[in-house]
């Protein structure tokens, strides 16, 4: 089965739904920008997430405009357009994993404060103690 890794923006808000088999799921569009300038275009995917993944997306407040990455298996699906007559195909992604892409903004679009840098490791954290590169050779 083909696997994909996509970074894109969610195209519309969604909510948790229940299938006829009583399984919870969400379905949403993901827009991936490809290329730059006049050569740029947008590729759209339909992403499906089930049970725990679906609940996690809702709990973490993914919504329209959220920049996320997803990985999953793809399937080319034929469907009938809204006019009821035209046939078309779309890429459907069965979500395996996902998370937000760090963008310097929170989920509301406001700038976030930079996280505090972690302190450098102390001597007791380094195996064999600290090495001074000016005075000692690096270990093999």
pLDDT for 7 beyond 90:
yes
Q: Taking the domain 3-110, which CATH number applies?
A: 2.40.50.140
Specify the DSSP class assigned to residue 138: P
The token pair at 44 is 């759209």
Burial 78-102 (b: 16+ CB within 10 A, else e): eeeeeeeeeeeeebbbebeebeeee
What are the residue boundaries of the structural domains of the chain, listed by start? 3-110
Alpha-carbon distance of 7 to 32, in angstroms, equals 6
Residue pLDDT, tens place only, 31-42: 999 998 999 999
Residue pLDDT, tens place only, 13-31: 999 999 999 999 999 999 9
Check: CB of residue 93 under 8 Å from CB of residue 6: yes
Residue pLDDT, tens place only, 81-135: 889 999 988 889 999 999 999 876 655 556 554 443 344 444 444 444 444 444 4
Alpha-carbon distance of 137 to 35, in angstroms, equals 46
- This prediction has a pTM of 0.67
In degrees rounded to 5, what are phi and psi of residue 9? -110, 140
pLDDT at residue 105 in the model:
60
Check: CB of residue 76 under 8 Å from CB of residue 46: no
The token pair at 136 is 């000692």
pLDDT at residue 47 in the model:
96
Alpha-carbon distance of 93 to 96, in angstroms, equals 9
């Amino acid at each position: 089965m083909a696997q994909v890794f996509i970074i894109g923006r969610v195209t519309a808000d969604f909510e948790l739904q229940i299938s006829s088999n009583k399984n919870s799921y969400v379905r949403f569009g993901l827009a991936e920008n490809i290329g730059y300038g006049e050569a740029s275009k947008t590729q759209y995917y339909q992403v499906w997430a089930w049970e725990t993944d679906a609940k996690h997306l809702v709990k973490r407040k993914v919504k329209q405009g959220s920049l996320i990455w997803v990985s999953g298996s793809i399937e080319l699906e034929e469907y009938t357009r809204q006019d009821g007559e035209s046939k078309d195909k779309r890429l459907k992604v069965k979500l395996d994993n996902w998370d937000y892409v760090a963008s310097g903004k929170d989920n509301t679009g406001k700038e976030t404060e930079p996280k505090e840098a972690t302190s450098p490791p102390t001597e007791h954290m380094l195996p064999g103690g600290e090495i001074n590169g000016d005075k000692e050779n690096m270990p093999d």
